[in-house]
Amino acid sequence: MPRPERPAPTGPERPAGPGSGAPIRPTPDPGEPLLQIVDLTLRFGGVTALDRVSFDIRRGEILGLIGPNGAGKTTCFNAITGVCPPTAGTIRFRGTSLGRRKKHQITRLGIARTFQNIRLFPEMTALENVMVGADAHHRTSVPGAIFRLSPRHFAEERVCRAIAMEMLDRVGITERAHQIARNLPYGDQRRLEIARALATRPALLCLDEPAAGSNPAEKASLLELIRSLRDSGYTILLIDHDMKLVMGVTDRIVVLEFGRKIAEGLPAEIRENPAVVAAYLGVPDGSA
Amino acid sequence: MNIDFLIDNFADLSVTGLAQGAIYALVALGYTLVYGVLRLINFAHSEVFVTGTFATILTLRGIGIGPDDPVPSLLMVLLTLVLASIVAALSSGAVALLVERVAYRPLRRRNAPPLVFLISAVGASLVLMEIYALFLGRDNVRVGNLIKPRTQFTVFGADVTNRQILIVVSAVLMMVVLDSFISRTRLGRGVRAVSQNPDAAALMGVNKDRVIALTFLLGGLMAGVAAVLYDLNFGVTKFSAGFLIGLKAFTAAVLGGIGNLRGALLGGLLLGLAENWGQALLGSAWRDVIAFVFLIVVLMFRPTGILGESLGRARV
């Protein structure tokens, strides 16, 4: 399937879209990767959802994870965040294996995510939603909180509220702070999910189709947000169907099809890759 | 039908009903809290309550207040009440945590289907009940003589006793504390997050096992205080006393909207009132029938209870 590498694309083929006037970032420093996925395999009964998938996420990059429906993208997220423990293979974060850690432990290590279908706490205010994320790092004792007398409890609540407000500001929905989450407009709910994830203070932020269902204007401002997050030091793993969005924002791309990795490289390389084109257009391998 | 009797004694019946209802409400909180986070009816909660009734009696005995002793001085009564409440709340809380650990957590680890939890709950309930029967006997156990009911004031011709005031005030106070804990603290936020979306909560760093244990503990603490009030109100308990009050409290929780803390309060008080008015009308033999007919009628018109499932509605 793989053909000889094509010559590296030239500059102008790099991301088009908002912010394309910005200087092209050099390829991130290929030092120790933030997350290493080695031979990750996941089986559900007889179905192999992921088959020996390996890739690295480097510090400070936006890595796109793409592929046709059912390729295993979300399953890959689920494995990283502890929702579905791997059948085989290892995931190493900052050099240590995630093993069979629980979801909340993985979050506290510094991996946060958003969801393909929005999963907020619908009856809480936007601020409270984000505070749940910020709580991940707080430690009031149970008696301290029950009687609400401990000074530490008050101090933590203050800090937590401040962090939550900062994150709402970061994604640009400060004015929604005291509204009930389920009443927020769709686009703001997506942003709220990002704010909530940021509040857990992640090093790696996994965004599962953050632009799904958004209009072009919303997509453009979302791209801006994702880029600004990377520029302030977050490493981002992004799933999306929208090729334009993915091509426009990612530094590198990994392509999955039927649970296998079929390509990995710079956006322009991926766009030219015949296996990827075939996977997306459904063209038989031979005629690509 | 004895409408005249109901009308003549309406105020008195209402006061008695509110006092009983307050106790139902406190016990109902345990059902509603656990249902809120686990979508599970903890049928062993009735025995968590019974634990408190025995803990109270044993505390009174320890201090030297028996059923036939004279009522001690006011200061002594207050100190005893506080001590008994703490002991009862902690014992009930401990048993609730134990039930969660032994009867539910292993099932949760194995992703057991909901029906298995139900059977485990009934099993835990029977085991606890028989343990109490073994150690404390199958007969009625009388409560130490702590409060002599004395009329404090009269509203619409109803005598309100010191005991009734104590019961209603303590119950409402406990509920206010719980409500503010759930709505204003970090741990309360965790409880609400898990009840609204358990998976998302875990992925945002909420320790689900800890939140679940916490809700059992809170339910247990409330049941313990309810047990002290029950002992004061009825003066007697039994190894199987939890069965009926557990059923009533569960009814109260469903009536108000299970998963809804304020619903538990409303459901409890309404149930207490309905029972007392109904038995005046039809005779005391009908008391329990009335409670359940009332539930059925309410559910026919409001299937999610009077206030609805406030935590539950959130579930997608």
Burial zone of B223 (CB within 10 Å; 0-12 exposed, 13-18 middle, 19+ buried): buried
pLDDT above 60 (res A7): no
The domain ranges of chain A are 1-110+203-288, 123-201
Instruction: Tell me if chain B has a CB within 8 Å of the CB of A152.
Output: no
Other Cβ atoms within 10 Å of A13 Cβ, number: 15
Q: Is B78 helix (H, G, I), strand (E, B) or coil?
A: helix
Residue type, B102: V
Separation of alpha carbons B226 and B28, rounded Å: 10
Contact criterion met (CB below 8 Å) for B219 and B212 = no
Domains annotated for chain B, with CATH where assigned, are: 3-146+158-314 (1.10.3470)
The pLDDT score that the predictor gives to residue A5 is: 43
Separation of alpha carbons B84 and B302, rounded Å: 39
The pLDDT score that the predictor gives to residue A148 is: 57
Separation of alpha carbons B261 and B36, rounded Å: 9
Mutation site for A-interface testing, chosen from B173, B203, B208, B218 by largest number of A Cβ within 10 Å: B203
Share of chain A above pLDDT 90, in %: 47
End-to-end CA, chain A? 10
Contact B206 A132 (CB under 8 A): yes
The pLDDT score that the predictor gives to residue A143 is: 59
What mean pLDDT do residues A144-168 have? 79
* Mean pLDDT per 10-residue segment, chain B (316 residues): 82 92 95 91 94 94 84 87 95 96 93 90 94 91 83 82 92 91 88 91 91 95 96 91 92 90 92 92 86 87 79 38
Please choose, from the candidates A166, A107, A155, the residue with its C-alpha nearest in 3D space to the C-alpha of residue A131. Answer: A166
Predicted ipTM of the assembly: 0.84
The pLDDT score that the predictor gives to residue A147 is: 58
Q: Express each pLDDT in A227-281 by its tens digit.
A: 999 999 999 999 987 778 888 899 999 999 888 999 899 998 888 888 888 887 6
Separation of alpha carbons A150 and A211, rounded Å: 42
Instruction: Tell me if chain B has a CB within 8 Å of the CB of A149.
Output: no
Separation of alpha carbons B307 and B108, rounded Å: 29
Write down the pTM of the prediction: 0.86
Contact criterion met (CB below 8 Å) for A118 and A212 = no
SS3 content of chain A, % helix, strand, coil (to 5): 40, 20, 40
Task: List A residues 77-116 in contact with B (Cβ-Cβ < 8 A).
Answer: 81-83, 102-104, 107-108, 112-113, 115
| DSSP output for B258-302 | TT-HHHHHHHHHHHHHHHHHHHHHH-GGGHHHHHHHHHHHHHHH-
pLDDT above 70 (res A11): no
What are the chain A neighbours of B214 within 8 Å (beta carbons)? 142
Size of interface A-B (CB pairs under 8 A): 102
Separation of alpha carbons B153 and B162, rounded Å: 9
Q: Nearest Cβ partner of B190 from A107, A135, A196?
A: A135
Separation of alpha carbons A49 and A74, rounded Å: 10
Contact B206 A115 (CB under 8 A): no
Separation of alpha carbons A126 and A176, rounded Å: 7
**What residues does B252 pair with on adjacent strands?**
none
What are the chain B neighbours of A81 within 8 Å (beta carbons)? 203
Q: Express each pLDDT in B5-14 by its tens digit.
A: 888 888 889 9
CA triple B236-B120-B98, angle to 5 deg: 65
Contact B310 A123 (CB under 8 A): yes
Q: How many CA atoms lie within 13 A of B115 on its CB side?
A: 0
Q: Nearest Cβ partner of B197 from A121, A142, A148?
A: A121
| DSSP output for B98-159 | HHIIIIIHHHHHTT--HHHHHHHHHHHHHHHHHHHHHHH-SS-EEPP------EEEEETTEE
Query: The domain at A1-110+203-288 falls in which architecture?
Result: 3-Layer(aba) Sandwich (3.40)
Share of chain A above pLDDT 70, in %: 82
Calculate the average pLDDT of chain A: 82
CA B174 to each of CA A223, A246, B182, B302: distance values in angstroms, whole numbers, following the listed order: 50, 54, 12, 27
The pLDDT score that the predictor gives to residue A141 is: 56
Tokens 């994150």: give the residue: A167
Contact A115 B200 (CB under 8 A): yes
Q: Which residues, 6 or more positions from A194, have their beta carbon under 8 angstroms from its beta carbon?
A: A114, A171, A205, A207, A210, A225
Mutation site for B-interface testing, chosen from A104, A125, A200, A208 by largest number of B Cβ within 10 Å: A104
The encoded tokens of residue A19 equal: 């912010």
CA A270 to each of CA A145, A208, A264, A288, B25: distance values in angstroms, whole numbers, following the listed order: 52, 20, 7, 14, 63
The pLDDT score that the predictor gives to residue B302 is: 84
Q: Express each pLDDT in B115-142 by its tens digit.
A: 899 999 999 999 999 999 999 889 898 8
Other Cβ atoms within 10 Å of B69 Cβ, number: 12
CA triple A156-A98-B201, angle to 5 deg: 45
Mutation site for A-interface testing, chosen from B204, B307, B311 by largest number of A Cβ within 10 Å: B204
The pLDDT score that the predictor gives to residue B217 is: 95
Separation of alpha carbons A145 and A160, rounded Å: 14
